[in-house]
Every structure is written in C-alpha cells, then in structure tokens.
Chains A and B, each alone.
Chain A
Amino acid sequence: DVKVTQSSRYLVKRTGEKVFLECVQDMDHENMFWYRQDPGLGLRLIYFSYDVKMKEKGDIPEGYSVSREKKERFSLILESASTNQTSMYLCASTLTGSYNEQFFGPGTRLTVL
C-alpha cells in the first residue's frame, strides 16, 4: 500500500515560533509538494520539489521554506509562525509522468496562537 505520512495531525504553536512539518513517502516518488487548504480557497501550492535538494516556489511561498535532504522526506518550515498561517497543511507526492495522480498525506491542522 502506498503511503504518505505527516508528522502530526494537529499542532498548536505560538506566534514567532519556528515550526517544522515533516512529510515522508515510501513510494520512491521524485516529486513532493506542500499545499495549504483554507475554506473557500481550495488547495494552494506553497513549494514543491522534483528531486533531492531541488525546490521550486509555488503560488504562496512567502513565510515558508522547505528542505529535501533525502528522496523520501520533504519538510516545510515556518521560520516565524504567524496567526495567518493557521491552516490545514497537506503533503503530496507523485511519480514523474502526465498520467500519475498525486498521493496525499492525512494533513496537519496547524493553529498559531
């Protein structure tokens, strides 16, 4: 069974804290993605990575950074969390190829107080 796991389902942090969200996939996928999901806005791409140590900005990268040191792991970092980063964060991965769907993790609901 293919699997994408995320380090936490729920997380509560304080404004200004550094926050790490971890994502691991066991499918040997080249591509990994971080989205945030907000009501009425759908899923918006924050960052993605198409190979180890490679990354590209998505549509809303401001306030976030990422790290991909190993193929199976993709981390999202909030350097200094703010209340407007309270959201659901979803990680996904996919093989390279037009017909391949993205596989999603269960999501992390982050609350910044």
Chain B
Amino acid sequence: AQKITQTQPGMFVQEKEAVTLDCTYDTSDPSYGLFWYKQPSSGEMIFLIYQGSYDQQNATEGRYSLNFQKARKSANLVISASQLGDSAMYFCAMREGPGNEKLTFGTGTRLTIIP
C-alpha cells in the first residue's frame, strides 16, 4: 500500500483563487510528521510547512495552511490567493516514528496558475 497518496497529477487554477492539494497517508505509528515541499521548474525543493501528529492546531505559514484531519489520515495543503509564482510541483511527505529521519514522498501534484 502507498504510504503517501496524492491523487491529483495536475491542477489548473485561476490566479487569486484558493487551491487545495490533496494528500492522504497511511501509517500505524502514532508519532509521525507530515511535510509539504514545492519544486519549481528550476528543480530545487523548497520546504513549505510541517504538521506533527500530536499538534492540536493546523499548521500555517503565510499563505500556506495545512488542513490536517487525523481520523481521515489526510493532510491537504491549502494555498490562499494563488499567484503565478505558485506554479510548480508540490510533494507531500511523511516521517514515521521517533528517531526516524527518513521521508516517504508522494508522487506529486503539478499546479499551474492561470493568469
């Protein structure tokens, strides 16, 4: 079974609209962390936001927020007021268990912002 599932290979969104990128995960470990990265066409991986499994509140970082629904095992990234510069690949990733530094990545979503 896939540990991280991103079901949207590609999305097109009008500039200034909000966008939600889906991510579901699968783990039996009660302690885990969820990460979102952005990869522009230049290829660099840019860390966006982190959510820990024990965090009581949804993480937010500027225009990025994480809609964390633990019971559903989903960690969707929400980008508010999208900009042309948001066009990129977006990856969801998970780290399972304390003392484990490895990340498991999803297959990514290519987001295109339309002017």
- Chain B residue numbers with a CB within 8 Å of A33 are 102-103
* Closest beta carbon of chain A to B61's beta carbon, Å: 11
A98 touches B52 (CB 8 A): yes
* Chain A residues with CB under 8 A of B31: 98
Closest to B93 in A: A43
B108 adjacent to A42 (CB under 8 Å): yes
Interface presence of B43 (CB below 8 A): yes
Interface size on A, residues (CB 8 A): 26
A38 to B: closest C-beta gap in Å: 10
**Is A79 an interface position by the 8 A CB rule?**
no
Compute how far the CA of A41 lies from the CA of B6 in the bound complex, rounded to whole angstroms.
Answer: 11
Nearest 8 CB-CB pairs, A to B?
A104-B45, A101-B47, A43-B105, A42-B107, A42-B105, A107-B43, A31-B101, A42-B108
Binding site for B on A (CB under 8 A): 31, 33, 35, 40-45, 48, 50, 58, 88, 90, 92, 94, 96, 98-99, 101-104, 106-107, 109
Other 16 A-B pairs with CB < 8 A, given A31-B101, A103-B47: A35-B105, A40-B9, A40-B107, A42-B4, A42-B6, A42-B91, A43-B91, A43-B103, A45-B102, A90-B45, A98-B52, A98-B95, A99-B52, A104-B45, A106-B42, A107-B43
